[in-house]
């Protein structure tokens, strides 16, 4: 390893050198993600997708260890900025460079589609600008052509503003989806702004589905090509071969031997700087990127929280916030350390958000990990530890796991009674949940007996007319009735 290149939602990226002296970018997964079975499966799929794809305009895989601890993947190092960084620092690309960008991206997508894959997240941060042309990177959500755009139950993956209407609506996607994303990327490169604007993700997706793109900064054949890519119906978008035919009319690639770059001077200067000084020290984080800013080493806990809250404000529903929570956990772990209480809190909140989205199994797994780490760092009797244990049992419940959840909740309730007191609201809540899970697991008589005790204590502590007391009385009667029916 020679230095640190940056960090993202999955892990940190380092500049390394192969035994033969080749420079490589090594992505190393964060430990808290490496412990999740579902994430490991997703990462292994990314590695398989990246290894399957070749071509001059992608970053080839040099080596990988998806089963290692932690998992990692090494790709050829591309000394240059991504498109978002280039536009931010050097301004929109001139038309000639946009045609060259389009040609390279189409060839990259052809290589991806030739392997039966879709990229599904083509955006400026995933387009690197090398001296001789663009490179498409990050196959984190690439999928085979036969599957839909949903990876977690009910959740659409992708980046708002760059995904096509069919993907935004959670429908079936095909090669035309990547063509739409290509059109958005080209519009951004030529104008410096996204054609469907910015703002809250839901508002952007609404414009993607219903509004015409804003292409005021484009004209002539380039505007016509981008507009064709952004057709609402996938059937109306041009195919990649059709696009290449239209592009080559306006793009004569420079002779590689001449050393001529397809980019303007401002971008070539950025590339030269990356070649000369590509890395930061191991203890220093990289600069912010267009899509997922990483934290710097001197960032305080308060500043991290402020950044996260500002980003979260733009997410109008839990599903929109999944990647934000992953990024927040990564930033906190890097700056404050994985065992810092604030990092553990963000992990707890990440699991809670997944539970709200409906991904209960993964939420339960995350809560189990947070509870174990909080017990180790804060102590087994710390209220935060008890809270994570409670949520672990809560999201484990359902289906065949109710009785196991009831056993876990019984342990939580006992410890809460000892630490917080038998009349504490959290203790009463855990006792009620234990009885509820027993009833849902078919243990009606025991559930009725426990629920009667909970109702009596709630009436004493909260009052006989409190809604929680009434709910417990209702569940007591329901479980008692079910137990009698079984005996008859």
Q: Annotation-wise, does 27 bind a ligand?
A: yes
Is residue 320 annotated as a catalytic residue, yes or no? Answer: no
Query: Distance (Å, rounded) from C-alpha 408 to C-alpha 389?
Result: 8
- CB atoms < 10 A from the CB of 476, how many? 22
Residues whose CB is less than 8 angstroms from the CB of residue 399 and which lie 6 or more positions away in sequence, other chains included = none
Cis omega (within 30 of 0) for bond into 70: yes
Q: Is 63 in contact with 114 (CB distance < 8 Å)?
A: no
Q: What is the DSSP letter of 239?
A: P
Residue burial 176-212, b: 16+ Cβ < 10 Å; e: rest: bbbbbbbbbbbbbbbbeebbbeeeebbebbebbeeee
68, 121, 339, 384: the catalytic one is 121
- CB atoms < 10 A from the CB of 66, how many? 17
Q: From the centroid of its chain, how far is CA 399?
A: 27
Q: With helix as H, strand as E and coil as C, how does 345-404 read?
A: HHHHHHHHHHHHHCCHHHHHHHHHHHHHHHHHHCCCCCHHHHHHHHHHHHHHCCHHHHHH
Residues whose CB is less than 8 angstroms from the CB of residue 217 and which lie 6 or more positions away in sequence, other chains included = 92, 190, 191, 192, 193
Q: What is the DSSP letter of 150?
A: B
Sign of the alpha-carbon torsion through 324, 328, 331, 334: negative
Give the three-class secondary structure for 214.
coil
User: Hey, which residues are catalytic here?
Assistant: 121
Annotated binding site: 27
Annotated binding site for ATP: 27
């Amino acid at each position: 390893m020679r230095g640190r290149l940056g960090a993202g939602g999955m892990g940190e990226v380092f500049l390394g050198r192969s035994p033969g002296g080749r420079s490589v970018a090594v992505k190393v997964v964060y430990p808290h993600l490496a412990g999740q079975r579902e994430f490991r499966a997703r990462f292994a799929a990314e590695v398989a997708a990246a290894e399957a794809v070749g071509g001059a305009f992608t970053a080839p895989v040099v080596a990988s260890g998806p089963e290692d601890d932690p998992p990692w993947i090494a790709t050829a190092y591309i000394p240059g900025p991504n498109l978002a960084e280039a536009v931010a620092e050097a301004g929109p690309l001139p038309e000639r460079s946009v045609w060259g960008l389009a040609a390279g991206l189409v060839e990259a997508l052809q290589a991806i589609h030739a392997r039966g894959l879709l990229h599904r997240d083509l955006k400026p941060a995933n387009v690197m600008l090398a001296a001789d042309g663009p490179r498409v990177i990050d196959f984190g959500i690439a999928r085979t052509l036969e599957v839909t755009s949903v990876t977690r139950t009910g959740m659409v993956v992708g980046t708002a503003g760059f995904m096509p209407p069919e993907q935004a609506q959670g429908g079936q996607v095909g090669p035309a989806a990547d063509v739409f994303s290509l059109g958005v990327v080209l519009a951004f490169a030529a104008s410096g702004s996204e054609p469907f604007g910015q703002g809250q993700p839901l508002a952007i997706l609404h414009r993607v589905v219903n509004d015409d793109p804003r292409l005021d900064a484009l004209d002539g054949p380039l505007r016509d090509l981008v507009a064709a890519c952004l057709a609402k119906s996938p059937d109306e978008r041009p195919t990649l071969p059709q696009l290449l035919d239209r592009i080559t009319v306006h793009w004569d690639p420079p002779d590689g031997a001449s050393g001529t770059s397809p980019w303007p001077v401002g971008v070539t200067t950025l590339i030269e700087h990356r070649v000369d000084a590509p890395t930061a020290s191991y203890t220093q984080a990289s600069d912010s990127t267009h899509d997922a800013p990483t934290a710097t080493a001197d960032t305080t806990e308060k500043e991290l929280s402020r950044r996260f809250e500002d980003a979260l404000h733009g997410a109008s529903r839990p599903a929109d916030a999944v990647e934000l929570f992953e990024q927040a956990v990564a930033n906190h772990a890097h700056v404050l350390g994985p065992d810092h209480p604030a990092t553990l809190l963000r992990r707890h909140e990440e699991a809670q958000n997944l539970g709200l989205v409906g991904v209960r199994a993964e939420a339960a797994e995350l809560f189990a990990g947070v509870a174990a780490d909080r017990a180790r760092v804060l102590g087994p009797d710390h209220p935060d530890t008890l809270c994570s244990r409670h949520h672990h049992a809560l999201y484990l419940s359902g289906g065949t796991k109710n009785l196991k959840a009831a056993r876990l909740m019984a342990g939580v309730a006992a410890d809460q009674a000892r630490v917080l007191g038998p009349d504490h609201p959290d203790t009463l809540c855990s006792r009620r949940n234990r009885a509820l899970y027993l009833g849902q697991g078919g243990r009606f008589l025991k559930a009725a007996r426990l629920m009667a005790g909970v109702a009596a204590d709630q009436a004493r502590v909260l009052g006989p007319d409190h809604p929680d007391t009434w709910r417990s009385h209702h569940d007591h009667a329901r479980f008692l009735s079910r137990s009698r029916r079984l005996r008859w």
